[in-house]
């Protein structure tokens, strides 16, 4: 069991390194010159060239990469020995945004809590709606409740998220004024405002994702409910509730957990569309903003962090397998 | 086996109407009996046809996707709501017919989605089969590549790389403008979409490669290429059909999302995504502009999803028994 954990942990680290190399290479094809962004309107070719040297952009790609990785673990100093004011970027340093005059790590750590609240809130909602909806549909297979749940899930599933979000925004906030215009406050500062702002984004992501989980859970449940051991469990005289939850749902849980882990990881890396619609200052909005500004250090940093979330949640899913499926523990 | 075959022969002698059916034929028979499947297939084909022949259909209906200032009153308001001449109404500001826009838009959206599906599935089937058939190091490397590709925040990369990559495509000789924008989208969908189907295919091939018919082919001295192409790949059509029909609506929705984010085609070429994101501004003053494109999108996506579900049910040998 420990061997399994160590092996997966090793795979995760290899994946992170591979990913950082690919991201680094990918963005080195961008012509947006980070050196240009250091001086803004006062740029002259000489200044840009000098800044290029200061930022280490004249060095070969391999050296730039090792400097970058070193910065993550040990921090790095910009403008060192250049006769200009030095800029400290303490570890973990993901780069320095000259456009925003701030270390990338700070920008991301400011944005992550917003995205985290968004992701966790909607995750709880969609898992509750999706799994219970799927179980109810499977237990009522072929009856009107099943048909109704499935049709609803299919229709919602068919609509793009941006569309659902925009309609929700327009109808609930603009038309009927049921909620105030979205304006993010941290929950510790002003909980009612936080809740009012997050309610629609939560619901938007939750409905869109729940539709998929209703379908997935239903398929899994229908399959496991047809197994012989379910009949055995019933024959033993177990309550219907125990049969459904302990035997059928648990056996069908693996694909649901796989999908849920991936979706949550993906969401933590920035809900680009929903954050844009509801004006939430999360990772997704930071990413889109820096794409528009060609703020390369921020784009690279956000991409890395977003991918790291996915890799980490994959790892957590692997660990959860051991809890759900005893066969994984034994192998 | 022998007894069953003898019995089948006897039965065949006495009642020539009885025929053995291959699993494929059984599945097709189940599919044909399924009303939802047949209706959704019909709707999906109908939508593909009318959008492929959008110019002809528009000419027949007497609607035009071109701007017409005669249909616009003051402040960009259309002169009328939906009428017999313009069944879905007129686009505010330009005077284009909404039905015509919807048909032309469907053409672009479906073209992007269909090409993406074909490319994704081709790459996925090839890599998935190669991975499973070669085992060992190649398999491990390819599986790792699949996992790595899946960890990329693809939407973010798509946005970040769009301008550069579109320029590069143009530099490579792809015609400028919408053509290279569409090429970029399709390539991007393919590059980040193939691991899903490759995983499914790999699993399928791993279970197939130990079967007797593969062993028989190996024993007869068939080359590896021959085993992959003529023994393994033809057995993969079931997961491929299901995956294709379910991922197609996903690509339609993805194209719509990207148009909303401004990465899709430019203003001269209508797509469903563009229609949806443009029309939202007029939801109060001109609701039919929003209503008909959304209904069109839901019907299309729904019919492909329903058909995909039905194919999956029909191909599941246990489906009839449960």
pLDDT attached to residue B12? 47
Lowest mean pLDDT among A73-82, A147-156, B158-167, B204-213: A73-82
Q: Classify residue A179 by its DSSP letter.
A: S
CA-based nearest residue in chain A for residue B282:
A170
Inter-chain contact A26–B161, Cβ cutoff 8 Å? yes
Contacts of A291 in chain B (CB under 8 A): 156, 159-160
Contact call for residues B67 and B96 (beta carbons, < 8 A): yes
pLDDT attached to residue B320? 47
pLDDT attached to residue A328? 66
pLDDT attached to residue B203? 86
Q: Establish if B276 touches chain A: CB-CB under 8 angstroms.
A: yes
Inter-chain contact B156–A166, Cβ cutoff 8 Å? no
Which residue do the tokens 């994101």 mark? B277
Neighbours of B73 (CB within 10 A): 12
Length of chain B, in residues: 322
Comparing CA positions, the residue from B292, B306, B317, B246 lying closest to residue B106 is B292
Dist CA A50 CA A35 (whole Å):
8
Comparing CA positions, the residue from B57, B172, B160, B24 lying closest to residue A287 is B160
Inter-chain contact A288–B322, Cβ cutoff 8 Å? no
Structure tokens at B201: 């295919």
For residue A328, list its beta bridge partners.
none
Instruction: Identify the residue among B47, B146, B147, B156 best suited for mutation to test binding to A, counting A beta carbons within 10 A and taking the highest.
Output: B156
Inter-chain contact B306–A175, Cβ cutoff 8 Å? no
Q: Classify residue A236 by its DSSP letter.
A: T
Global pTM reads 0.80
Inter-chain contact B305–A302, Cβ cutoff 8 Å? no
First CA to last CA distance, chain A: 8
Angle at A35 between CA A33 and CA A38, to 5 degrees: 125
Structure tokens at A163: 């569309």
Q: Establish if A159 touches chain B: CB-CB under 8 angstroms.
A: yes
Contacts of A31 in chain B (CB under 8 A): 164
Taking residues A107-129, what's their average pLDDT? 92
**pLDDT at residue B14 greater than cutoff 60:** no
**Helix pair B178-208, B98-134: axis angle to 10 deg:** 40
| Minimum-distance CB partner of B322 among A18, A226, A266 | A226
Q: Classify residue B72 by its DSSP letter.
A: B
CA-based nearest residue in chain B for residue A302:
B156
Comparing CA positions, the residue from B246, B239, B237, B299 lying closest to residue B113 is B246
Contact call for residues A182 and A197 (beta carbons, < 8 A): yes
- How far is C-alpha B121 from the chain's CA centre? 10
Contact call for residues A212 and A220 (beta carbons, < 8 A): no
- How far is C-alpha B279 from the chain's CA centre? 25
pLDDT attached to residue B321? 42
Contact call for residues B314 and B37 (beta carbons, < 8 A): yes
Contact call for residues A126 and A119 (beta carbons, < 8 A): no
- Chain A stretch 298-317, residues whose beta carbon is closer than 8 A to a beta carbon of chain B: 299, 302-303, 306-307, 310-311, 314
Residues 6+ apart with CB under 8 A from B22: none
| Digit-coded pLDDT (tens) for A216-264 | 888 888 888 888 888 898 899 888 888 888 888 888 888 888 888 888 8
Number of H helices, E strands in chain B: 13, 0
| Minimum-distance CB partner of A159 among B277, B298, B322 | B298
Report the run of H or E that residue A103 belongs to, with start and end. strand A102-103
Q: What is the rounded average pLDDT for all residues in chain B?
A: 81
Comparing CA positions, the residue from B267, B264, B253, B273 lying closest to residue B162 is B264
CA-based nearest residue in chain A for residue B294:
A159
**pLDDT at residue B65 greater than cutoff 50:** yes
Indicate the SS3 state at residue A102: strand
Length of chain A, in residues: 331
Q: For the range A137-143, what are the long-range contacts, defined as Cβ-Cβ under 8 Å and sequence gap of 24 or more?
A: A137/A214, A137/A217, A137/A218, A137/A221, A138/A217, A138/A218, A138/A221, A138/A222, A138/A225, A139/A221, A139/A225, A139/A244, A141/A222
Q: Establish if B152 touches chain A: CB-CB under 8 angstroms.
A: yes
| Digit-coded pLDDT (tens) for A126-158 | 999 999 999 999 888 888 998 888 888 888 877
Burial state string for A229-249 with b = 16 or more CB within 10 A and e = fewer than 16: ebeebeeeeeeeeebbeebbb
Structure tokens at A287: 């990413």
Structure tokens at B226: 């021959």
CA-based nearest residue in chain B for residue A289:
B160
Dist CA B123 CA B121 (whole Å):
6
| Minimum-distance CB partner of B156 among A158, A226, A302 | A302
Dist CA A87 CA A103 (whole Å):
9
Highest-scoring range by mean pLDDT, A40-44, B248-252, B274-278: B248-252
CA-based nearest residue in chain A for residue B322:
A226
pLDDT attached to residue B272? 83
Inter-chain contact B297–A159, Cβ cutoff 8 Å? yes
As to burial, measured by CB atoms within 10 angstroms (0-12 exposed, 13-18 middle, 19+ buried), residue A143 is exposed
Q: Classify residue B90 by its DSSP letter.
A: B
pLDDT attached to residue A114? 92
Angle at A251 between CA A250 and CA A255, to 5 degrees: 95
Q: Establish if A269 touches chain B: CB-CB under 8 angstroms.
A: yes
Dist CA B154 CA B148 (whole Å):
12
- Chain A stretch 73-102, residues whose beta carbon is closer than 8 A to a beta carbon of chain B: none
CA-based nearest residue in chain B for residue A296:
B160
Contacts of A299 in chain B (CB under 8 A): 156, 160
Dist CA A205 CA A210 (whole Å):
8
Instruction: Identify the residue among B39, B151, B306 best suited for mutation to test binding to A, counting A beta carbons within 10 A and taking the highest.
Output: B151
Reported confidence tier of residue B174, pLDDT bands at 50, 70, 90? confident
What is the per-residue DSSP string for A181-218?
PP----TTT-HHHHHHHHHHHHHHHHHHHHHHHHHHHH
**pLDDT at residue B151 greater than cutoff 60:** yes
């Amino acid at each position: 069991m420990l061997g399994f954990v160590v092996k997966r942990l090793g795979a995760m680290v290899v994946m992170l390194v591979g990913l950082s190399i690919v991201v680094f290479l990918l963005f080195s094809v961008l012509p947006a010159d980070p050196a240009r962004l250091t001086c803004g309107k006062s740029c002259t070719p000489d200044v840009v060239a000098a800044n290029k040297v200061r930022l280490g952009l004249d060095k070969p790609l391999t050296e730039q990469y090792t400097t970058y990785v070193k910065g993550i673990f040990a921090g790095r100093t910009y403008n060192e020995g250049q006769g200009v004011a030095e800029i400290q970027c303490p570890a973990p340093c993901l780069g320095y945004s000259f456009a925003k005059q701030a270390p990338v790590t700070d920008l991301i750590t400011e944005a992550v809590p917003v995205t985290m609240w968004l992701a966790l809130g909607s995750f709880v909602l969609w898992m509750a709606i999706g799994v219970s909806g799927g179980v109810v549909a499977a237990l009522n297979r072929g009856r009107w409740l099943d048909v109704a749940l499935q049709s609803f899930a299919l229709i919602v599933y068919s609509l793009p998220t941006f569309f659902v979000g925009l309609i929700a925004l327009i109808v609930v906030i603009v038309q009927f004024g049921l909620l105030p215009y979205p304006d993010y406050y941290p929950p510790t500062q002003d909980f009612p405002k936080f809740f009012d702002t997050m309610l629609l984004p939560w619901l938007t992501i939750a409905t869109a994702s729940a539709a998929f989980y209703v379908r997935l859970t239903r398929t899994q449940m229908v399959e496991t409910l047809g197994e012989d051991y379910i009949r055995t469990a019933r024959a033993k005289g177990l309550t219907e509730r125990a049969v459904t939850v302990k035997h059928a749902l648990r056996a069908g849980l693996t694909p649901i957990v796989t999908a849920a882990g991936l979706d949550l990881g993906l969401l933590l890396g920035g809900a680009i569309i929903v954050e844009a619609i509801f004006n939430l200052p999360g990772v997704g909005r930071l990413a889109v903003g820096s794409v528009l500004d060609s703020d390369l250090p921020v784009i690279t940093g956000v991409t890395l962090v977003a991918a790291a979330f996915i890799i980490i949640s994959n790892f957590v899913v692997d660990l959860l397998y051991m809890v759900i499926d005893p066969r994984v523990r034994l192998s | 086996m022998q007894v069953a075959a003898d019995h089948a022969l006897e039965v065949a002698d006495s009642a020539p109407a009885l025929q053995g059916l291959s699993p494929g034929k059984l599945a097709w028979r189940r599919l044909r009996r399924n009303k939802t499947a047949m209706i959704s297939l019909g709707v999906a084909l109908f939508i593909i046809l009318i959008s492929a022949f959008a110019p002809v259909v528009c000419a027949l209906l007497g609607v035009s996707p071109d701007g017409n200032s005669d249909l616009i009153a003051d402040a960009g308001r259309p002169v009328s709501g939906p009428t017999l001449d313009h069944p879905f109404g007129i686009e505010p500001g330009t005077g284009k017919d909404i039905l015509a826009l919807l048909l032309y838009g469907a053409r672009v959206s479906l073209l992007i989605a269909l090409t993406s599906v074909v490319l994704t599935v081709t790459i996925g089937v090839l890599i998935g089969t190669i991975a499973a058939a070669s085992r060992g190091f190649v398999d491990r490397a390819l599986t790792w590549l699949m996992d790595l590709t899946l960890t990329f925040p693809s939407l973010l990369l798509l946005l970040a790389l769009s301008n550069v990559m579109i320029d590069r495509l143009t530099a490579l000789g792809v015609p400028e403008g919408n053509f290279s924008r569409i090429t970029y989208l399709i390539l991007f969908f393919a590059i980040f979409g193939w691991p899903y189907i490759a995983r499914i295919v790999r699993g399928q091939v791993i279970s197939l490669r130990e079967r007797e018919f593969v062993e028989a082919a190996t024993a007869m001295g068939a080359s590896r290429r021959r085993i992959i192409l003529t023994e393994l790949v033809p057995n993969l059509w079931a997961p491929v059909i299901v995956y294709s029909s379910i991922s197609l609506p996903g690509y339609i929705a993805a194209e719509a999302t990207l148009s909303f984010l401004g990465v899709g085609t430019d203003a001269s070429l209508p797509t469903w995504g563009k229609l949806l994101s443009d029309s939202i501004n007029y939801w109060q003053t001109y609701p039919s502009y929003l209503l008909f494109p959304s209904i069109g999108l839901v019907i299309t996506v729904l019919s492909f999803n329903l058909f995909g579900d039905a194919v999956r049910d029909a191909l599941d040998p246990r489906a009839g028994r449960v």
